[in-house]
Structure 1
């Protein structure tokens, strides 16, 4: 049985292109913020693993209060 592959090409309008750029920028920003916070938490608590395991992980919703512009993109993209 041969494998098949499909390629799709999209031609977004200028408005759609701007929205995609904004969305990917926000996703990258949230990912980096969450990663930095997790690293910081690990460094603080690496000697106490039981406390580290009980620590709650950050969510994208946490950053929407501080950075209002994150509300402009789809919340599922940030998740």
Structure 2
């Protein structure tokens, strides 16, 4: 199954490059379903049978919808900052999240 996932990712990256898009891989341990998409609080324990939960801020979340919102936000952060949430297989470009502006040379 690991080889099949690698093949799928390779095809997805090829198609994305073909159409001028970018594939952003988020770390598999990113707590997307336990992280409140409204306030950013992280729930301690959440078994897989919990499908809806309410954060301390009062927001009620569907686990899958909340995870989708958090993954979208993480992908947009990567796009804005130019750094990965996890190391990519090949980094054809991009900058470190620490350095956002190009350095200027003083004449």
Q: TM-score, normalised by structure 2?
A: 0.26
Q: When you count helix as a share of all residues, which structure comes out higher?
A: 1
- Between Structure 1 and Structure 2, which shows a larger proportion of strand residues? 2
Whose relative contact order is higher, 1 or 2, with alpha carbons under 8 Å and at least 6 apart? 1
